[in-house]
Every structure is written in structure tokens, then in C-alpha cells.
Amino acid sequence: MPNKPAQDSMANAIRFLSIDAVEKANSGHPGLPMGAADMATSLWRDILKYDAADPHWPDRDRFVLSAGHGSMLLYSLLFLTGVGGRKALTIDDLKSFRQLGSKTPGHPEVHHTLGVETTTGPLGQGIATAVGMALAERMLAAEFPGVVDHHTYVIASDGDLMEGISQEAIAIAGHLKLSKLIVLYDDNHISIDGNTAISDSVDQLMRFKSAGWRSLRIDGHDQGAVTRALKAAKKADRPTLIACKTIIGFGLPTRAGTQKAHGEAPGATEIAGARKNLNWPYPAFEVPEEVRKAWLKAGRKGKSAHKRWKEALAALPQDKRAEFERRMAGELPAALAPAAAKYKAELFQQKPTIATRKAGEAVLNVIAPLVPELITGSADLTGSNNTKVAATKAITPDDMSGRYIHWGIREHGMAAACNGLALHGGFIPSGASFLVFTDYCRPSLRLAALMQAHVTHVFTHDSIGLGEDGPTHQPVEHLAALRAIPNLLVYRPADAIETLECWLSALEEKRSPSIQALTRQNLPTCRQVHTDENLSAKGAYVLLGADDADVSLFASGSEVAIALAAQKLLHAQNVAVRVVSVPCYDLFFKQSAEYRKKVIGKSKVKVAVEAAIRQGWDEIIGDGPFVGMHGFGASGPYQELYTHFGITPEHVAEVALKRLRG
């Protein structure tokens, strides 16, 4: 069925704002907005539940433009519908597309532009993040029925579906029957190198079907068909893929349907031809009044649903409403701090010798019952990561009231979905695996950091200390590589007390994702004196010794005990030693210059000890000696490995003495 002229002009407004902005910036991606304008129009005009006046309405439908390179599609929609009210994007914002400091950066960035739900650009991340958002909706609805009932819509491109992460994401979504997740696939068969047939012959409908989705193919330029398909998808008992056959760069006279439409400014001739082809005689950046009005009306259509939602929220019992509001605001429950303080006092009494992964489990046993927003899980290593406790019952496709997620062996999908759970609001998600497999989810960890998503993962088996599994499983460069990601907090606690402190710090650092790097092997309690203050939250602190010591030993995690033992050896030789524990390198460098100077100290010899590579430690020890790893590990009992690689108190003492006397 052909579109009506009025429908065409709503879609054309998106098309021309997009190409005018790309042309002005002389940079950007015109092809996707022009090709996907019809399906976006059907979705935003007919289906999407939102109230442009309040982009933060918790029960709004979520929209994710997974193919972030098509950002002008989203910016055009946000401008045309007036998302954000008085703070909505203006025509001048569109005119400064891709300029430094503008609200319209090259790819959509959450918290930067009102109405953008997640940062996209790395292909595949958007659809995987959307899975987490759709899961959040189901889980929150199980807890707060009546005030949570919305859908998650995605526009995904060929590239999104080619990326491996999309397989993990669709498998999780299909398994969990996330029926309120609906993906519009911009099925244009073109990517940068040309027709996708040069590198791909997957049958996407069959692929999604086999993962438990409904899938169908329609004409993506038939707005009526898109709207009907979306309406049917909303009634389904499974997630739906709607493959929308589209023409990339729809309307461009010579570039439409070719890779030339993908990612460059079309030029004046091509744009003039498109204006003619699509009957759009208006100057650049001009939208006729009646088209603008139609779009603004679409932006208001959720008003009554929003009003009814407010009434439903007000009708909740007072405590339930307060809890919902606390959760969505991301405030921690008041009961947490006193319970944690009590538990800390117990640990000082017990001084346990325990692996930090077990200590982490014990911490979860204390905090999980008090922090219902904390969702734990594991990528099939539940018994090794120790992240499942009594309070975290597993969710199933038919019962979303739990708080534990069996992600399967899908680290990348897990980390991206955790980002979605956090961005949705109402949850602090925590995934888990072995530290070495952070490589399998690094792109999502990086995005979490960029998006300031409050996610805290548990990655155990954090060094050669895992022993017999050998070098494939022993991280050596991972701590440095993770610390290199800005705003990702890498905690590596030395004992049960630091594990508690690190968990509390991670919960309090609302704008930073974090990782708990925990040991497989047992560790003694290292903390010397009882302090109520969270010393780990400072990143590093003096554990033992006087300011004027000749030698300062800096260590993290399992090597703090080695540093303490080396201190004893040196003390026996009349060498005064300080020991500094460094549970979170990143937080230490956020402290005041004065504090950092004091903790780094003035010792003649500064030694760092960590069962990992040296990279990064120079900031603390300068050219001081480093005791740690210089290459890959090996398979064997961990005590023998520590001796083999020279990460022992004796070697630390020897290295320190040599530097002191040499």
C-alpha cells in the first residue's frame, strides 16, 4: 500500500533534516536516516509510548538506535517531537551536528542529549543493551505491577546483526521470552564495503526464529505495514524481529541503494536531486508548519497515558511508592550502612583466612537482602564466582521475580545487558566470570565507563593464584588493561575486610562501573587496626609503618600479604618498612594531591608487588623495582607458581635490600 502524502512529509522531514545536517557538517551518515525514516515515522508517530514533555518518565517505552552512525535519524526525531520540552533540541543544535560541544555529537551519547537512552556506535552494542532494558522492564514489573508496563524498540542495521555480540543478545532474549522487545531491522543489504552478499549469507529470519523469536519481513517503506507489524508484535508471547526491506539513502538520485549513501556528505547536486525526487521544495533546515505540527502532536500523544501512570503511582501504598521512587532515583537503602558496619566489626573479631571470592559471597549474604536493586549473576561460573546467595533466587522465563541471572557462556552479552539494566533504572546489575574473560566483554565495559553506568561486576580467579588451569586462564595484563579504561573502577581487595569495603565503595560510586577482581586462593586478614572509615574507598592507604621508613612496599589483593611478610623479613634486618595497600588504583588517583603525596611517601626505595604486569605502577614507584609478572603464567599448584615467578616475601625483601644498599 503506498504511503499517503502526509505520511511521506513526516518521514521526509527526518530525511532532509538529516542530510542537511550531514551536508553542513560535511561529515556523517545520510544513508540510514533516509532509508529508515519510514519505519521510524511509524514507530514514533503511531506506536511509541512517550511524553515529549518528560523524557525521564520511568514507564516510557525505550527506543534504541543500535546503528548509532545513523544518529541524525534520532536527533531529527527528538527535535521534531520536541522531546525535553523547553530543553529540546533546536534547529541550531541540528545545524551544529558533530561540532565540538554541541548536543548532537557524531554518535548518540546518553546523558549528553535528552531523549538518548544509551550510547551507540560500536555496532551490536545497542541491540544487546536493549535486551538488558527489556529484561529490566520485566523484572521491575514483577516487583511493581501496575506502574511498570512498557516496551523496548530497537532499530538495528546489517552491521548490528553481523557482530558476534548480537548472537549472545538474541539468544538471551529468546530464551527469556522478552516479548516486549521489538527489533526493526533496517534490511538494506548494504554496508561500507558494498552489498552485504560479499561477506554474509545468513538467513536472519531463520536465525532469530531458532533463538525463540518471531520474525517476519515487510516493506520498510510501507508505513502502514510497519505500524501493523508493530501492533502485532506487541501482542506476541516472544520477542519480534521485523526485517524491514529498505533502500539505503532513499531518495538520493544516484547514491540510493549503494554504499555511497552510507557515510559521507552527498553534495549539493545529489541533495537537490533528492528534493526533487521526494517533492520537498523547502530550503535547508526548513520544516513546513503543518509537518512540524503533526510531529509535535505525536510528541504529545503519550500525555494521557503519562497522567494515568501518575495516578497509578499515587495509588500505590505509601511504602511501595517510596521504594519505587528510591529505586528509580538510584539512592541506596538507609539500612545498608549500619548493617555493613556491624559486619565489619565481626570481621575484625574473626580475622578470617579466606579467598576473596568467598569473602565476596559472605558480603553478598549481608548486603543482598538489604539492597533489592542488586541483581547478581554469572556467565556459567556460579560455583566459582560465588555470586549466588540465598536472597538472589534465579529468574526464569516464566518467573521474573528473582534476582539472579544465569547468563550462559555469554560474557559480552551479559556485560551489555547489564548496561541496559542499569540505564533502564531501578537496578544495580552485577555480572560475573573469570578475570581473564574481561577480554570477552571489554567493549561493553568500556561503554559502561563512557556512559557512567552503575554496574559492578565480579571477576574471580584474578591471577596466577588460580593455579592449575594455567596460562590460558591466568590474567597478567588484564588489571593494567582494565585500569586503562577511564572511569572504570578496578577493585582488588586484599582480604575479607577490604572485600566488604570495596563492595560498599562500588555501590556508592553511582557514576562509575566497577570490577571486583577476586582470588580463587585463600588469603589471611591483612588489616591491622579496626577503623570504621572505608579505607579502600580512598584507593590506597598506609597499612603499616612510619612515614620515615627506608622502604615502602605497595601491593594489591593477594600480594598485600606477601608484602607484609616481606616487611617482617626486612624488619629482622633492621630495615624500617611501610606497607601500602592499593585496593583501587583508579580511586587513589582521584584523591587530593596532598593525600596521594602522603601515601606514596618519601621512602628511599619504593617497591610494587602485584601478580600481573608492571604497566601503570610507575606512577607510584617511579623507577623503583617491581615484583610481579613479565609474561604469561604456567600450569601448576599456585604456591609453586608464586615461587617459580619470584613473587615471594624473600624475593621482595631481596630486591628492596639490593636497591637500598646498591
Spatial separation of the C-alpha atoms in residues 179 and 138, rounded to whole Å: 9
Three-class SS state of 550: coil
Of 37 and 135, nearer to Mg ion (C-beta) is: 37
Return the one option of Mg ion, ligand TPP, none that residue 117 interacts with (CB less than 5 to 8 A, by type): none
Of 192 and 334, nearer to ligand TPP (C-beta) is: 192
Instruction: For residue 585, give Cα distances in angstroms to 16, 200, 515.
Output: 49, 44, 12
Of 195 and 591, nearer to ligand TPP (C-beta) is: 195
Contact, 347 vs 339, CB < 8 A?
no
The amino acid at 552: S
Return the number of other C-beta atoms located less than 10 Å from residue 57's C-beta.
17
Closest distance of CB 125 from ligand TPP, Å = 8
Spatial separation of the C-alpha atoms in residues 209 and 189, rounded to whole Å: 20
Spatial separation of the C-alpha atoms in residues 290 and 234, rounded to whole Å: 30
Could you tell me which stretch among 181-189, 211-219, 470-478, 523-531 binds Mg ion (CB under 5 A)?
181-189
Cell of 613: 604486569
Return the one option of ligand TPP, Mg ion, none that residue 552 interacts with (CB less than 5 to 8 A, by type): none
Three-class SS state of 512: coil
**Closest-CB residue for ligand TPP?**
159
Contact, 371 vs 428, CB < 8 A?
yes
Return the one option of ligand TPP, Mg ion, none that residue 31 interacts with (CB less than 5 to 8 A, by type): ligand TPP
Closest distance of CB 160 from Mg ion, Å = 9
Of 190 and 629, nearer to Mg ion (C-beta) is: 190
The amino acid at 376: T
Of 32 and 455, nearer to Mg ion (C-beta) is: 32
Closest distance of CB 14 from Mg ion, Å = 17
Of 441 and 518, nearer to ligand TPP (C-beta) is: 441
Return the number of other C-beta atoms located less than 10 Å from residue 601's C-beta.
18
Spatial separation of the C-alpha atoms in residues 512 and 515, rounded to whole Å: 10
Closest distance of CB 167 from Mg ion, Å = 18
The site for Mg ion, by CB under 5 A, has a size of 4
Return the one option of Mg ion, ligand TPP, none that residue 67 interacts with (CB less than 5 to 8 A, by type): ligand TPP
Closest distance of CB 320 from ligand TPP, Å = 42
Return the one option of ligand TPP, Mg ion, none that residue 1 interacts with (CB less than 5 to 8 A, by type): none
Closest distance of CB 67 from ligand TPP, Å = 5
Cell of 144: 511493581
- Is 411 tagged catalytic? yes
Of 158 and 411, nearer to ligand TPP (C-beta) is: 158
Spatial separation of the C-alpha atoms in residues 31 and 565, rounded to whole Å: 64
Cell of 175: 530464551
Q: Is 462 in the site for Mg ion (CB under 5 A)?
A: no
Of 138 and 262, nearer to ligand TPP (C-beta) is: 262
Q: x-or-dash pattern for Mg ion, window 555-574, by CB under 5 A?
A: --------------------
Q: What share of the chain is helix, strand, coil (3-state, %, to 5)?
A: 45, 15, 40
Spatial separation of the C-alpha atoms in residues 567 and 555, rounded to whole Å: 12
Q: Which DSSP category does 122 fall into?
A: S
Of 193 and 548, nearer to ligand TPP (C-beta) is: 193
Return the one option of ligand TPP, Mg ion, none that residue 123 interacts with (CB less than 5 to 8 A, by type): ligand TPP
**Beta-sheet strands, E only, within 359-487:** 374-378, 404-406, 428-429, 432-434, 456-460
Cα atoms in the Cβ-side hemisphere of radius 13 Å centred on 510 = 9
Residues that bind ligand TPP (CB under 6 A): 31-32, 67, 69-70, 121-123, 157-159, 163, 186, 188, 190-192, 248, 262
Return the one option of ligand TPP, Mg ion, none that residue 473 interacts with (CB less than 5 to 8 A, by type): none
Could you tell me which stretch among 180-188, 299-307, 351-359, 570-578 binds Mg ion (CB under 5 A)?
180-188
Closest distance of CB 107 from ligand TPP, Å = 8
Return the one option of Mg ion, ligand TPP, none that residue 121 interacts with (CB less than 5 to 8 A, by type): ligand TPP
Cα torsion angle, 148, 149, 150, 151, sign: positive
Sole residue written with cell 558476534: 164
Instruction: For residue 142, give Cα distances in angstroms to 71, 131, 168, 533, 634.
Output: 33, 17, 24, 37, 47
Number of H helices, E strands in the chain: 26, 21
Return the one option of Mg ion, ligand TPP, none that residue 32 interacts with (CB less than 5 to 8 A, by type): ligand TPP
Sole residue written with cell 545468513: 202
**Beta-sheet strands, E only, within 287-386:** 354-355, 374-378
Closest distance of CB 124 from ligand TPP, Å = 6
Of 254 and 304, nearer to ligand TPP (C-beta) is: 254
Q: Is 158 in the site for Mg ion (CB under 5 A)?
A: yes
Could you tell me which stretch among 103-111, 116-124, 182-190, 402-410 binds Mg ion (CB under 5 A)?
182-190
Applying CB under 5 A, among 129, 167, 188, 519 the residue interacting with Mg ion is 188
Return the number of other C-beta atoms located less than 10 Å from residue 285's C-beta.
14
Backbone angles phi, psi at 194, to 5 degrees: 140, -145
Could you tell me which stretch among 121-129, 150-158, 452-460, 470-478 binds Mg ion (CB under 5 A)?
150-158
**Beta-sheet strands, E only, within 50-180:** 62-65, 152-157
Of 119 and 157, nearer to ligand TPP (C-beta) is: 157
Closest distance of CB 448 from ligand TPP, Å = 16
Return the number of other C-beta atoms located less than 10 Å from residue 82's C-beta.
20
Q: Which DSSP category does 393 fall into?
A: P
Q: Is 190 in the site for Mg ion (CB under 5 A)?
A: yes
Residues present in the chain in total: 662
Three-class SS state of 71: helix
DSSP secondary structure string for all residues of 313-324: HHTS-HHHHHHH
Catalytic-labelled residue, pool 411, 501, 559, 610: 411
Closest CA to 331 of 299, 362, 372: 372
Closest distance of CB 100 from ligand TPP, Å = 21
Q: x-or-dash pattern for Mg ion, window 372-391, by CB under 5 A?
A: --------------------
Closest distance of CB 121 from ligand TPP, Å = 6
Query: Which residues participate in catalysis according to the annotation?
Result: 411
Binding site for Mg ion (CB under 5 A): 157-158, 188, 190
